[in-house]
Each structure stands twice: as structure tokens, then as C-alpha cells.
Amino acid sequence: MDTQELLTRNVDEVVTEEEVAAIAADPAGKRAYVGYEPSGVLHIGHLLTANKLIDLQEAGMEVVVLLADVHAYLNGKGTFEEIRETAEQMRAQFLAYGLDESKTEFVYGSEYQLEEDYVLDLHELELSTTLSRAQRAMAELQGGETAKVSHVVYPLMQALDIEYLDLDLAVGGMDQRKVHMLMREELPGLGYEARPCLHTPIVADLTTGEGKMSSSEGVTISMEDSTADIESKVNSAFCPPTRDPEGDLENPVLELFEYHVFPRFESVLVERPEKYGGDLEYSEYEDLAADLESGELHPADAKGTLATYLDELIAPGRAALREIRQD
């Protein structure tokens, strides 16, 4: 695939197509980032954006991973010492998962967010941004919690990070969209350029196909999971044999194939006994999805295959996490 297709595959939104096309035309040395609030253990949501970072590295771009310790502190996630410990766990897991260490810069927010220039720019943003605008940006991030003043400052800092990390491209899930739009609206007022953005999908709830898969609500898949855990979770996943005609439900099994497995493997082999039709091999996600809908591929076979490939992706990070905890 060409560079632009590699940059934009498996994203829900490109802001804007023209700006991202310009990066695709000359990606070498360009810098992209995702910010993560340290939580210790990577889960499917982290890994979806990490897959996109791997795509960007393959295209020749440099990647910045912001381990957002100040953001985590503002969100009540512990002391800086505790947050740093979980951040180091995340760093090891990202590298084990497949990020190229030579092309990845890990940055703690506290390395620059407490400096005078940053703080003064943050105050400028506070002056120029209405409370309602900041609240809209934080709504997707706080999940209905009672808002504190720190929560309103949080998205303003995210917007400013994109300037201070010297970035060419911002990457995040669709839940980051409002923050990125705030960045594009407000940074020019400080004399800085708005940056283009890529927004990755949110995988549906594993058991129902509704809403989003969440580490805090319901079932998710993380690097803490054993092979047996992954098999159990995937085998109990919602996987209808046909598409929902109303469009209200997603198929999380297919989403995990599309966003996690096919970007990382050249082909996918479904092993079946000869009496059930023998093995099936897919090099394209669309072919697997079509076979599932037609009945050629049984949901049970799709789930077993998915569990195998997810376990292969997660195993190195699981080992890294185990090693850290033994030290």
C-alpha cells in the first residue's frame, strides 16, 4: 500500500485529508504522538492506537509517546512516584508490543509541563477558552464523573502538549476528537500552528456489541490476561453471524480482527478439521468478514482463531509485565 494509505488505514477520521496527504508525501523525520495517562497495564484501547503508531513508524515517521504523569495527577491517579512506576510498566509493554525503540521517544509530561513558558501559555489558553468549551472537550474523557477544576484544565494541557512536543501529527481515539478540535481552534490564537489529526475507532463492548469496550466497565482484553483468559473472553464475545440490519450493534470479534490482527499479520489461518471444510487462509480482512456473514466461517472458528492471534500479540508484553513485577 502507498504511504497515505498506510497512514490512514483503520482510522475513523482524518483532519484534514489535505494536511495528512502533505505529511504522507514526505514522512521522513515527521513527528506523531499519542498521549497516555499512566495506568500500568495496556489494554485493547491502548493497543489500537499503538498499531497506528507502528504504521507511522513503518512509513518513516518518528513517534512520541507522552506518558502523561501530570495529567494523571490532575485526574487523582496517585502521587507522582506511584504514577511514574506505572508509567515505566507501560513503556516496557509498548516496546514489547512492537514499537521500534529507535524511532520512539518516551516523554513524561512533568519534563516540560511545569516550566514557566508552558505554564504561562496554559494561562493564556485559560483566558481565551470559555468554560463551556473546555467542558465539552473534557466530557468524553471524564465519563460522567463530577467535574473538578483540574478536569477542565486537563484538555487545555492536551492541546498545548501538541505544540510543546514539536509535533507534525496528533493521533488518538475518537474520544480525543473534541480535545483535538479545541487544539485546532485555540493554538493559532497563541501564535502556534494547528496540527492535523488521525482518530482511531473505539472497539465495541466485547459481550454486547454496544457502546465501547472499557477497562473500567465490563470486559476488556489486557496484557495481564493469560492465554486461558483471552480464550475465555473471546469465546464469550458477541459475534452474530450476520450484520445488524439496524446498525445499532457492532461485531467486536470482527473489529478485533480488523484493527488488531490484520494490521500485524500478513495472513490469518483458520484451522478446521477436514470434515468441517478444512483450513481457511485470509490475507484480507474483508474476505474473512464476508465468509463469516455467508456462513462459510463459523463464529466458533473465528473466535478460536482470534484468541490465538491476540495471544501471540499480547504474550511479549505479558512477559515484560511479569518481569517488572518480579524485580
Give the chain's mean pLDDT: 93
Handedness of CA 259, 264, 266, 268 (dihedral sign): negative
User: With respect to CATH, is domain 3-200 assigned 3.40.640.10?
Assistant: no
What value does the mean pLDDT take over residues 217-230? Answer: 89
Residues 210/204, Cβ–Cβ less than 8 Å = yes
Give the H or E element holding residue 123: helix 116-128
Rounded Cα distance between 256 and 237, Å, is 11
The predicted structure's pLDDT at residue 154: 93
The predicted structure's pLDDT at residue 148: 85
Handedness of CA 118, 13, 55, 48 (dihedral sign): positive
Could you tell me the pTM of the whole model? 0.94
Handedness of CA 151, 153, 158, 161 (dihedral sign): negative
pLDDT digits (tens, 9 = 90+) for 132-174: 999 988 876 555 566 788 989 999 999 999 999 999 999 999 9
Question: Coil, strand or helix: which one is 31?
Answer: strand
pLDDT bin (cut points 50, 70, 90) of residue 296 is: very high
The predicted structure's pLDDT at residue 8: 98
- CATH for 227-326 (2.40.50.100, 1.25.40.80, 3.40.50.620, 1.10.240.10): 1.10.240.10
The predicted structure's pLDDT at residue 301: 97
pLDDT bin (cut points 50, 70, 90) of residue 241 is: confident
The predicted structure's pLDDT at residue 140: 60
pLDDT digits (tens, 9 = 90+) for 73-83: 998 999 999 99
The answer, yes or no, to whether residue 272 has pLDDT greater than 60, is: yes
- Could you tell me what percent of the chain has a pLDDT over 90? 84
The predicted structure's pLDDT at residue 213: 79
pLDDT digits (tens, 9 = 90+) for 24-59: 999 999 999 999 999 879 999 999 999 999 999 999
pLDDT bin (cut points 50, 70, 90) of residue 211 is: confident
Mode of pairing for the β-strands spanning 31-36 and 62-67: parallel
The predicted structure's pLDDT at residue 249: 79
What are the grid coordinates assigned to 258, written together?
Answer: 480488523
Using a 10 angstrom Cβ sphere, with 0-12 exposed, 13-18 middle and 19 or more buried, the burial of residue 76 is exposed
Domain borders along the chain are 3-200, 227-326
**227-326 and 3-200 share a CATH fold:** no
